[in-house]
Amino acid sequence: MALYAIGDLHLSYGVKPRGGSGSRPGPTGGIWKNREAVFRQNCLSLLTDDDTLVLAGDISFGKNAEECAPDFAWLACLPGKKILLRGNHDRFWDAKKTPALNAKYGDELFFLQNNFAAYGDWALVGTKGYCFEGPFYLDRRGRLVGWDEEEERRAGELVERELERLGTSFEAAKSAGYRKFILFLHYPPTSLIEKTSGFCKMAEEYGASQVIYAHSHGEHNFHTSIEGMKNGVFYRLVSGDCLRWRPERILE
Ligand SMILES: [Fe+2]
Ligand SMILES: [Fe+2]
């Protein structure tokens, strides 16, 4: 039995091609080319039905149940238990829909928000999260000299809402008797201008062992948040392009 994670599949099997080019939404070139096939092959060689795979957000470009259904059916056929986290591109999923999604897909997929999933004696908790993504202002040498303070204030409001949801997730697990936690976020736990955040503090307060996050694409964004051990919590990025579509083993 092992726990794996990866984010940002950005599936679109059920989305009709749009625009003059007839292409589906999302990135297609370079590392993104044939990602579904590469990811599927990696899952088939790594995972068994005893394993659990957390999909850390940006799962589907489908904007409603109909457009998502082919992506969910495709995921459900992969080995192991699948746990889904909400990403910024997951427009099919607003916070109120989580119970309905779990009722509909309960045998195949688990949607993690305002709830938790059990993995042995561990509780898998999580939420989309949020962090301020700019605009940042750089000087000629690429050094940070400022940022949009109004946007930063707005980001702070979104962070507060997500912290509330994460608190609900932790408390649900705690009430059920769990004392060991792995925390999943879609967004990185800190922005470019932060050394810590409410997400880091909550991870420390509840004694989470790891914080797993995704969302950061492209090599220049792979190291913009916390990585490795900090204040007793281990942080790691699992965006799909960073992992080259090979799910990362989180726990044995
Ligand atoms: Fe993404
Ligand atoms: Fe994202």
Ranges of each domain in the chain: 3-251
Taking residues 122-133, report their average pLDDT: 97
- The answer, yes or no, to whether the previous bond of 135 is cis (omega within 30 of 0) is yes
Cα of 86 from ligand 2 centre, angstroms: 9
Identify the pLDDT of residue 105. 95
Q: Dihedral of CA 132/137/140/141: which sign? A: negative
Mean pLDDT of 81-110: 95
Cα(191) to centroid of ligand 2, in Å? 14
Q: Which of 12, 36, 35 is nearest to 24 (CA)?
A: 12
The Å distance, Cα 55 to ligand 1 centre, comes to 11
230 pairs with which residues across the strands?
Answer: 233
Residue 238 · residue 249 · CB < 8 Å: no
Segment 136-153, tens digit of pLDDT: 999 999 899 999 999 999
Cα of 175 from ligand 2 centre, angstroms? 30
Is the pLDDT score of 21 beyond 70? no
At 173 the pLDDT is: 98
pLDDT for the residue 16: 83
pLDDT band at 19; cut points 50, 70, 90: low
- End-to-end Cα separation, the chain, in angstroms: 6
* pLDDT bracket for residue 230 (50, 70, 90): very high
Mean pLDDT on 22-34: 83
C-alpha distances out from residue 204 to 156, 175, 230, Å: 20, 18, 9
Residue 191 CA to ligand 1 centre (angstroms):
16
pLDDT of residue 112: 98
For ligand 2, the distance from its centroid to the CA atom of residue 130, given in whole angstroms, is 10
Looking at residue 107, what is its pLDDT?
Answer: 87
Q: Which amino acid is at 89?
A: H
Whether residue 115 contacts residue 98, with contact meaning beta carbons closer than 8 Å, is answered with: yes
Supply the pLDDT for residue 208: 98
pLDDT on residue 22: 66
Ligand nearest to the CA of 187: 2
β-pairing, 52-55 vs 117-119, is unpaired
What is 3-251's CATH number? Answer: 3.60.21
Averaged pLDDT, 47-72: 96
Q: Which two tokens stand for residue 181?
A: 């936690």
Residue 230 host element (H or E):
strand 228-230
pTM for this structure?
0.96
Which residues surround the ion ligand 2 when the cut-off is CB under 5 Å?
Answer: 58, 87-88, 215
What would the pLDDT profile of 162-200 be if each residue is shown by its tens digit? 999 999 999 999 999 999 999 999 999 999 999 999 999
pLDDT exceeds cutoff 70 at 20: no
**Residue 206 pLDDT level (bands cut at 50, 70, 90):** very high
